[in-house]
A and B are shown apart, each in its own frame.
Chain A
Amino acid sequence: MFEFVLKRVLQAIPVLWIVITVAFLFVHAAPGGPFSQERAVPPEVLKALNERYKLDQPLLIQYSDYLRNLARGDLGPSFKYPGRTVSEIILAGMPVTFELGFYALLVALAVGIGAGILAATRPNTMRDYLPMSLAMVGICLPTYVLGPLLVLFFGIRLEWLPVSGWGYLPGDKILPSMTLGLAYAAYVARLCRGGMLEILSQDFIRTARAKGLPETTVIYKHALRGGLQPVVSFLGPALAGLLGGSFVIETLFQIPGLGRYYVQAAFNRDYTLVLGTTIFFSTLILVFNLLADIATVWLNPRLRQEDGARA
């Protein structure tokens, strides 16, 4: 197990390096520098700016400088937020985005797994069709449609919940978390149902029933662990998706999180911020994928043991 984790971590390092390099090259290959957008910048000012940000140096020098600074956790200064470094901006936005992602994941797992078990234990009945139809709606309604709909209903018509912000008013975290989580709840529900149905048709479930175990024990002790495997494998990609979704949610609900910074930075051609955020997100997603892999192996004794035995 330890060897497996170590191997995966070591594999992630070159991947991260490739990501950094590609992102760096992309950003630097962009037509026009960060300051060319503002109209009529006098050439001498442009030159001074380029010098200040070392944009006049050869690419290789810039690249090695960037890597060296990166190793110290310094992502450079932001072009568009003078006086603030990229690291500061990321650190400021990170807690909000993490919190949003965490609540959304809770919603997704709680609703999704619940609905999946409900559907799988009574396949082809109303208890299956209803949650699965809702899941289909969830998959076909993108967050930027679902969000406004929820806002319209709970926020404007019923006036139950605040429609924007994060942490300013009581309950203002509910709508964004729900919006982001429900779409993934739909995926989780489908995966969970599929996984559970597969496991419930296995011979060892018949053995468990033949032993006279109560149905709840059969489902939660014998079936759930295997049935959740597709969900666990989906967690890595889901978290990546949640991050992407957070761009939309943070824009919709005016939440001062990283996603919103990223989108704004992209529009503003704030290259250092875009680059820094890309690297940060990539690292995050690599870590989550790693955790999902480890969880998958840990959940399945066959994989765990075989690896342990040969290690």
Chain B
Amino acid sequence: MALLSVKDLSVCFHTRLGLARAVDRISFDLETGRTLGIVGESGSGKTVTAHSLLGLLPSPPARIENGSALFDGIDLLRAPEDVLRAVRGNRISMIFQDPLSSLNPYLTIGTQLIEPLRVHGGLSRKAATERAMAGLDEVGISHPAERLHSYPHEFSGGMRQRVMIAMALSTAPDILIADEPTTALDVTIQAQILDLIRHLQGRHGIATIFISHNLGVIAGIADEVMVMRRGVCVERGSAEDVFYRPAHVYTRQLLASIPTRGKPTPPPAESPDAAPLLKIDGIRVSYAQRKAPFGRRPTARIRAVDDVSLELHRGEILGLVGESGSGKSTMARTLLRLVEPDSGSLTMEGVPLGSLRGSALRAIRPRLQMIFQDPYSSLDPRMTVHECLREALLQRAPASREQVLRESTQLMLDVGLEPAQIGKYPHEFSGGQRQRIAIARALAMRPELIVADEPVSSLDVTVQALILDLLLELNRRRGVTLIIISHDLSVIRYVSDRTAVMYRGRIVELGATEDLFREPKHGYTRALLSAIPIPDPRVERSRRRTFYAEGEQEAGKMAPSTQSPLF
């Protein structure tokens, strides 16, 4: 008899357009101490499935149409609210994606940790406090007694997720549901949190439902895997079966879309001794520290980019990799003169880019274009695609109505969009299509260099590969030089000829991509490489991770104090 047995679960949502089925006849069993990984892209219904088990779906608009979920003789889908409440947070706990918004900012960690213990365990305040401290200690938070009085915003993201885990496990639940628990975290932090979950789960014999879009993460943690797509379970089986012998086309597609392989044609387009297209020399950028609304005047300056020098050759693709706060986005914006550097020089084919002003600067701008991370905010919501492209085309050169129409149609075709959709507004497109529009807009300027800042990180995996392929094609066919910025090493490895690793405002390692991946020299690069989850269960489970602590090398000297928590 399984611990939890879900049969034919169907959930639908009432929308303005009628009923939409989010989950369609999902069935699975969960055994004590085992981990079920649910994997799928956005909109696949994996989160809805998890929420419906705890009665957390907002109803209306959601409605459970059908099915049963038997847990210890209780049908979770039909149990009255008070029965469910005794299960929630007690015998079945949950942790969520964003540890920042999942903790109440108005209450101390202690108050929030003690709550489930008092409600479910009937413990006294004192006993509950002691248990909460023990719990914090177990998830690796030092000085738990003091930490109980802290508020969530005083913790870093990873620490917050540790608190969430301590809270979820405090009542010794039978089942833990983890909904994308590491998606909002940096890779190296993600590795730590995954290790922690694995460790605690083994120690307490908790059954886990682990939801993620990341196959690598699932490979490392799941005994069984369920692949979901558009509310339907397309494949279910042991991790080995699903990863090594995928039965369904979609699973194979998912596995294939992960760009693990290296770039097919590595040679750089020009010989290195030719004059560089872009020369960056000793760039430093710092920000005045953002203050609280009622805080004192800003005093400290945060150094975001610290003495970065680079040479970029025409036709090459440079990957810039780093975690959040490493200064890579600031670097990109500095190259495009969206951010003014404190010092250093920027030269584009002999033109001192850094010292241009006014109309001279505006005249050179079309040669450098940018593609942004978020295609939702990088397109003006009140302009149709046609208006958007026309603005770009007319900015480059005056043209007649017909010319504009012809060129914008061609651009649509170039980026793989249906020209008939040119009259639509950005909100009518999907995320991937929007990113294509953004690329088309950049191409309209006929740039020599495109800086793409996290161009695929807000997209689903299957779409990611398509956008990266489009960028590669632009590079090959049009000879556009590219700088691709990403936190995702597999993306960088897939597209770039050379890779620069950024850590705390500095480039700690720079080299040909394959060399760097094969033989990382810097400690941080090694840590980063060891932290990427690999979608191969056997490899992933047996991996040893290396960690890189600041101070180990000189790179951390000018540490920005944005990482305010002390641990």
Contact = CB atoms under 8 A, between A and B. Distances in A.
- Is A–B contact present in the complex under a CB 8 A cutoff? yes
B88 A212 contact: yes
Contacts of A203: 96, 98, 101-102
Given A210-B88, A211-B89, A212-B88, A297 B151 contact: no
Nearest to B86: A212
B121 to A, nearest CB: 11
Given A207-B96, A209-B88, A211-B88, A222 B296 contact: no
Interface in A261-308: 297, 299-303, 305-307
Contact of A212 (B116, B151, B295): B116
Which of B54, B89, B103, B106 has the largest number of chain A CB atoms within 10 A?
A: B106
Contacts of B115: 208, 211, 213, 217
Contacts of B116: 211-213
B54 A210 contact: yes
Contacts of A311: 296
Most chain B beta-carbon contacts within 10 A, residue among A204, A208, A214: A204
B283 interface: no
B104 A208 contact: yes
A4 interface: yes
B151 A210 contact: no
A301 B102 contact: no
A311 B292 CA distance: 11
B291 interface: yes
What is the predominant secondary structure among interface residues of chain A facing chain B? Answer: helix
Q: Which of B88, B101, B120, B294 is most buried by chain A, counting CB atoms within 10 A of its CB? A: B294
Contacts of A52: none
Interface size class of B (residues with CB under 8 A): 35 or more
Contacts of A221: 107
Contact of B295 (A226, A299, A301, A310): A310
B176 to A, nearest CB: 11
B106 A226 contact: yes
Contact of A297 (B86, B101, B164, B294): B294
A305 B56 contact: no
A212 B120 contact: yes
A4 B54 CA distance: 44
A interface bracket (residues with beta carbon within 8 Å of B): 20 to 34
Interface string B438-460: 00000000000000000000000
A4 B164 CA distance: 32
Given A204-B101, A210-B56, A226-B106, A302 B151 contact: yes
A211 B93 CA distance: 7
A54 interface: no
Contact of B102 (A206, A212, A306): A206
A47 interface: no
Contacts of A38: none
A218 to B, nearest CB: 10
Most buried by B among A210, A305, A310: A210
B119 interface: yes
Contacts of A225: 106-107
A208 B85 CA distance: 11
A212 B106 contact: no
A206 B119 CA distance: 17
Nearest to A201: B58
A310 B93 contact: no
A202 interface: yes
A212 B87 contact: yes
A4 B102 contact: no
Contacts of B106: 222, 225-226, 299-301
A304 to B, nearest CB: 9
Interface in B268-299: 291-296
Given A300-B106, A306-B292, A307-B294, A202 B89 contact: no
Nearest to A293: B294
A203 B151 CA distance: 16
A144 to B, nearest CB: 38
A6 to B, nearest CB: 12
B141 to A, nearest CB: 18
A44 interface: no
Interface string B51-92: 000101000000000000000000000000000111111100
B4 interface: no
A50 B407 CA distance: 83
A33 to B, nearest CB: 46
A301 B119 contact: no
A113 B294 CA distance: 27
Given A203-B98, A203-B102, A307-B294, 14 more contacts: A4-B294, A202-B101, A203-B101, A204-B103, A206-B102, A207-B103, A212-B86, A212-B88, A217-B119, A302-B105, A302-B151, A305-B151, A306-B294, A310-B295
7 contacts: A3-B296, A207-B103, A207-B164, A211-B115, A225-B106, A226-B105, A305-B153
